[in-house]
Each structure stands twice: as C-alpha cells, then as structure tokens.
Amino acid sequence: MAAKKDKFDELAERELLSEIILTIKNGDDDARRVVIYEKMKLIADKKKLRDELIKLLNFGLTEQEEKSRKKKTDDLEEETSAIHSEIRSWGTSAIAHLSKLIKTSDKLSRQAVIKCLMRETEPTSRYWMLLAAYEMDTPLAELKPVVYSIAQKYRDAISNKKYDLMYESPDEGNDRVAPLAIAIQARWGDAGAVECLNTLMRSGIFGPMWSTCRALEVVGVRDMLSTLTEVASDRRTWPDIRNRCIIAIGAIESPAAAHALSGILGIERDPILRESVIQGLVNLGTIQSVRTLIEKSSKKEKSSYSIADSMLPALLDENAQIRHRAAEALLKVVGELIDDEQDDEKKKIADENARKGASEKIVAELLKEKVDAKDGVPKLVDALRAVDPPEANIASTVLNRYLFDEDLSIKQRAQHALRLLGGERAVQTLASQRSEVLAAYNNLLTKADEPIQKLFEETMAQARQSFLISQIMSIVVFVVGIGAIITGLWFAFTGEAGTTESIFGAGTTIIGVIAVLLDLMVRDPHKRVQEATSVLLRIKVIFLGYLRQIHQIDATFKHEFIEGGADFGQKDAEQTTRLINEVMNTTMTSIGQNLPIRKTEQLAVDETLKKWKESLKPIVEAAKENNAKKEAEEKGANEGQG
C-alpha cells in the first residue's frame, strides 16, 4: 500500500514538473508567475527541477537559429527569436527564484546562468540573466568581470560624451543591460558608476532614463536617492519615468528613502504615483533593517516618525482605491515580520496584533479635530473595515475606550465612528455604552432623591411624633381630671360636712372638672387630630405629586436619549433641567398654598417643614441663577448678531 502511494506521489510530482516547464514555455505572464512563485515550492526534488530549468536557458539556441539571428533574414524569424528569448528570460527568473527556495549556494545554476549570459545576444535575455546572476549572490570574483565587460563601453561613451543620447546609443544591443551593470557597480560603491547614472537620469531623454530607472528598481543605490527624488517630484517629467523613480526609491533600504516617499505622498495627487508611493513604503516597512534604523534614528532625534504614520494621510484620499491600498499597506507595516516557516498559531497572533495596531493608528487619527467629521471620519471608518474584516470587532474595542472620555469632542467622534462602523460588536458596544450612561444617570437620580425621601420620612415621623405627644398629653389631662373628680367626690361624700376631707373633696372635684373642660374646650383633641391628619395627608400628596412629575420627566429624558440618536444633544438636557426647575418651584408654591396658615397651625407645621424648605431652597436659587445667566447670554448673542 505504501509503495502504491509513493508511486502516485512520484507520478503527481512528475505531472507538476511537466506543468511548470510547459507553462514557462507557452503560458502568459500571469500563468508563468503563478508556477514560479506558487507551484515551484511544491516540488520535492528541487535538483531535478533545476536541471529542467537550466535546459530552458538554452531554449531555441540551435546552430540553425544562431545563424538566422546573425543574418536576420525576415520578420518571422525575428519574431520566433523574440519568443525564444522571452522563454529563456522566464527560465532565468525561475532559476533565480529556485535558488532562494533551496537556500544553499547553487554553483551549478550560477555557472549555467553566467555561461548563457556570455553567449546571449538578445537584449531582454541578457538583462534577466545578469539580474539573476546578481540576485543569486554570485561571488564577486565570478560576477565582477562579467559586469564590467558589459558596462565598460557604455560608461566610457557617456563619460567622454562621444554620443548624443537623443539620436544614437553608446552600445547598441546593451541599452537595457548596460544600465543594470552600471547600477550594480554603483551598489558596490563605484563613484564613477554613480556619476554615470546621474548623467543618464538627468539627460531628459526617455529611453536612457527609462532603462536606468528599471535598473534602479531591482538594484537599490543609496547614492541615487537625491536624483530619483528630484526627478520623481518634477511634474514636467514623463509620468511613467516619475512612477519608475518612485519604485526605485522604494528599493533603497534606507530610512531616508522612507522620508522621501513620505514627502512625495504629501504633495503628489496623481493616483498612479500615489499608489506606487504606498507600495514603496510597504517594501521599506517590511524590511527589518529599515524598521530598526527608523526606530533608532527616531529615538536619537526625539521624533515620532514612522512609516505607518506617513501612510495615514492616504486614508483620506478622494480615490477609494488609494484609500483601500493604504489601509492594506498600513496593516503590513504595523505588523510583526513573520517568516513563512512560523507555525500557524504565531501567524494568527501576529495578524491579530497587526490589526489591533493598525486600528489604534486609524482611531487616533479619527479622533483629531482636524479630521472633518462629515467627510474624513467615514473614510477612516472604511479603513477600519479594511484592516479588520468582516465585523471589525477589534476596531470596535479600540473605539470603545473613548466612549467615556472627558473630552466631549472625542466622545462624540467615537460614537459617530461606531455608528458608521456597524456590525454586531459595534451595535453591542453602543448599546452597552447607553446602558452604562443610563445606569450612571439613574444612580445620580437615586442619590439625589435619597435626601428628599429621607427628609420626607423624617417630616412624617416628626408629625406622627407630635401627634402622638399631643394625644398622650390630652389623655393624661383627661385621666388626671377624671381622677380628681372621682377622688373629690369620694372625699366629699365619705367625709363629714364642714370637715377638711369634705372641703378637700369638693375642691378636688372642682379642679378636675375645670381641667377636663379646659382640655375639651381649649385644646380640642378631636379637632387637633383632624387638623394633624389633614396636614400629614397634604404633605404626602404634595410629595407624591413632586415625585410623579420628576419621574415622568426622567422617563421622557431616557426615551429621548435612547431613541434620539444623533439628534439628542444639549438642548434636550437643557429642556429637562428647565422642567425639573419648574416642578420644584410648583412644589414650593403648593407647600405655601395648601398647608395651614392659621397661626396655631403654622407654628405646629413650621418646625416640621423647616428642613425640607432649607433643602430645596439652594436648588431653586441655583436654577434661577442659571436661567438668568442663560437669558443674559442669549440677549448678548442676539445683540451681537444685530
């Protein structure tokens, strides 16, 4: 069974290898890229793949074709030769990529590429073969002679100014590969090569400038940064040349290149060029050495520059595609650099951290007052969706931190962004925020009602206590009076006439009768009970009416807060405050109108209502002051408008 499985695996690999070679020969450019960068890594036997690719380096180079290429007899043969040259070029690119997959020095492949380069005559093939030899880390002892032999004639012609680049080529047939060779020399630190490249870039002639830019796109030369930036910023230059210059800047592994691209992004409005700038920043932002240098220089200079920050203005671009590309780019430059060999769990964690970091950058920009709330905030919300699809849960979490910020502007922007962001998490966050606000509001009202409720309970308790004391006193007086009458009558009837006992009994009886009559006629316990009960009832009715109105206003306020959405604001809060003030004033008026006004009754009630009135008085006075202040401000505003 295992042998059968191995046989099928071997057959599948053979078919895949055949597909790769056939696609490189006959496929279009997109198909060729797929097999080189996606399918070649699936081949287990890399050496066998290498041998097949080396054969492609000689594709079409038969003795007959070499003779035909030298004679150039007709257009058909030239077209066939160009097709074969293209196949050899793609085969060369495949070998260069294979050397990266193998990750070991492949001497056989390097020697094959250099050998074919020396015999190759087609300009396109020569360009790609030289580039492959450079990218495969060919030892300088092997590569230098080849590079200098290609570059020498071209350099001499430009240095001696023997040729007018407008009308003739310094080295026909090497117009594309020679600038590449010179760029490699410049990368090695050859000052003469740098000067030659500067001459080509400032020639103002499309052909040499284009070839030089193409060379600098694949070979980053730090000394060319100034010239490339100058040409890229010159609006008089061909757009394609400017675009190529921007791409070349992105190939220079230096913080200065990132600063240059950031400057171009700030002033350039052409969408194609802006997109190239963004891609260049991504290239630099995903190189660890560049990141490290930027961090160190920022600390040394005490600045906060970062590639991620330089991309933020592109998130507000009028072009939707630019905004989307910038959001994707931000995610890449913020995230941790992870090798393809890292396990899936580490990649997942790194991806989540990148989304969080990008969301924090965007939210920080969104909360700035300089960003227009109507136009800028929606664009940045789109960027949040792009970096954190599909529900933008991380973005919602980041925005949630600012929902209770002390700065009203920040809080309102965060709320606005969450509403635009949408998604289940955003809805839950907003609902949670409103619930917390309502809970805080309810707690505030509860605390405010507690003193009033306590005061009311104390008032009722004092009234009941006064009522009870009055009842006890009446009962005591009545009992004492009745007791005195009974005692006096007993002494009067049991004692002899004219004796002390009879006189004492008669006097005691008279005193008891007077006490009972005074209690009934002056104090009138029954009437006082009725009046006290009436006072208690009126106090309770006034208080319950006050609470009912306050709670009704509160319920309306909560409803408007929940349903009002963006329309709910300061006017609603001011309206609620005004209604509460009116209720308090009405309550105080009711207290004065409905409680007893007779002197005896007023004295009985004043003490019990004193604390309540003192508690409400500062609130009413503060409300009056606020209303007066508001009226003065409105009057001043109206006079200013007038």
Residue 4's CB is within 10 A of a number of other CB atoms, namely: 8
Which pLDDT value is given to residue 431?
Answer: 57
Higher pLDDT, 352 or 518: 352
Please state which of the ranges 28-37, 240-249, 274-283, 572-581 shows the lowest mean pLDDT. Answer: 572-581
What are the Cα distances from residue 227, in Å, to 160, 211, 250? 21, 15, 14
Rounded Cα–Cα distance for residues 515 and 420 (Å):
84
Which pLDDT value is given to residue 642?
Answer: 45
Amino acid identity at 29? D
Higher pLDDT, 490 or 331: 331
Residues 35-40, mean pLDDT to the nearest whole number: 92
Rounded Cα–Cα distance for residues 390 and 381 (Å):
13
CB 489 within 8 A of CB 509: yes
Rounded Cα–Cα distance for residues 109 and 401 (Å):
57
- Predicted confidence (pLDDT) per residue in 318-364, tens digit: 999 999 999 999 988 888 777 666 667 787 888 888 888 888 899 88
Which pLDDT value is given to residue 517?
Answer: 57
Enumerate residues 6+ apart whose C-beta is below 8 A from 427. Answer: none
Q: To the nearest 10°, the Cα dihedral for 594, 597, 598, 602?
A: 100
Enumerate residues 6+ apart whose C-beta is below 8 A from 422. Answer: 392
Q: What is the DSSP letter of 413?
A: H
pLDDT band of residue 467 (cuts 50, 70, 90) is low
Rounded Cα–Cα distance for residues 273 and 280 (Å):
10
CA 16 to chain centre: 45
Rounded Cα–Cα distance for residues 242 and 236 (Å):
10
**Percent of the residues in the chain that have a pLDDT greater than 70, as a whole number:** 64
CB 358 within 8 A of CB 387: yes
Rounded Cα–Cα distance for residues 532 and 58 (Å):
119
Residues 523-539, mean pLDDT to the nearest whole number: 62
CB 310 within 8 A of CB 281: yes
Residue 180 has pLDDT above 70, yes or no: yes
Amino acid identity at 131? L
498: alpha, beta or left, given left = phi > 0 and alpha = psi -120 to 50? Answer: left
Which pLDDT value is given to residue 523?
Answer: 53
3-state per-residue secondary structure call for 441-492: HHHHHHHHHHHHHHHHHHHHHHHHHHHHHHHHHHHHHHHHHHHHHHHHHHHH
CB 338 within 8 A of CB 346: yes
CA 166 to chain centre: 52
pLDDT band of residue 39 (cuts 50, 70, 90) is very high
Higher pLDDT, 382 or 500: 382
Which pLDDT value is given to residue 641?
Answer: 46
pLDDT band of residue 272 (cuts 50, 70, 90) is very high
- Predicted confidence (pLDDT) per residue in 211-269, tens digit: 999 999 999 999 999 999 999 999 999 999 999 999 999 999 999 999 999 999 989 98
Rounded Cα–Cα distance for residues 204 and 128 (Å):
26
CB 305 within 8 A of CB 261: no
CB 502 within 8 A of CB 492: yes
Please state which of the ranges 25-29, 399-403, 419-423 shows the lowest mean pLDDT. Answer: 419-423
Residue 390: asked if its preceding bond is cis (omega within 30°), the reply is yes
Q: Which residue has the tokens 């500067």?
A: 198
Higher pLDDT, 273 or 392: 273
What length does the chain have? Answer: 642
Residue 184 has pLDDT above 60, yes or no: yes
Q: What are phi and psi of 252, to 5 degrees?
A: -90, 110
Which pLDDT value is given to residue 640?
Answer: 46
- Predicted confidence (pLDDT) per residue in 118-156, tens digit: 888 888 899 999 999 999 888 889 899 999 999 998 888
Which pLDDT value is given to residue 252?
Answer: 95
Burial of 372 by CB count in 10 Å (0-12 exposed, 13-18 middle, 19+ buried)? exposed
pTM of the prediction?
Answer: 0.68
Side-chain half-sphere CA neighbours of 408 within 13 A: 2
- Cα Rg for the chain, rounded, in angstroms? 48
What are the Cα distances from residue 321, in Å, to 21, 259, 285, 383, 386? 36, 23, 20, 11, 11
Rounded Cα–Cα distance for residues 299 and 310 (Å):
17
253: alpha, beta or left, given left = phi > 0 and alpha = psi -120 to 50? Answer: beta
Which pLDDT value is given to residue 595?
Answer: 61
Enumerate residues 6+ apart whose C-beta is below 8 A from 627. Answer: 578, 581
Higher pLDDT, 205 or 485: 205
CB 130 within 8 A of CB 147: yes
- Predicted confidence (pLDDT) per residue in 596-639, tens digit: 555 545 555 555 556 556 665 665 566 566 666 656 655 555 55
Side-chain half-sphere CA neighbours of 392 within 13 A: 30
Which one of 138-142, 295-299, 478-482, 490-494 scores highest in mean pLDDT?
Answer: 138-142
CA 121 to chain centre: 55
Rounded Cα–Cα distance for residues 35 and 97 (Å):
11
Which pLDDT value is given to residue 500?
Answer: 61
Token pair belonging to 495: 């004692």
Which pLDDT value is given to residue 511?
Answer: 62
Q: Give Dmax over CA atoms of the chain in angstroms.
A: 176
Sign of CA dihedral 559, 562, 564, 569: positive
Token pair belonging to 571: 């006017």
Higher pLDDT, 274 or 476: 274
- Predicted confidence (pLDDT) per residue in 548-589, tens digit: 777 677 767 665 665 555 555 666 667 777 777 777 777 777
**Percent of the residues in the chain that have a pLDDT greater than 90, as a whole number:** 29
Helices vs. strands in the chain: H and E counts, helices first: 27, 0
Which pLDDT value is given to residue 64?
Answer: 44
Which pLDDT value is given to residue 300?
Answer: 74
Rounded Cα–Cα distance for residues 580 and 576 (Å):
6
Higher pLDDT, 613 or 73: 613
Q: What are phi and psi of 353, to 5 degrees?
A: -65, -35
Mean pLDDT score of the chain, rounded to an integer? Answer: 78
Token pair belonging to 377: 């905030």
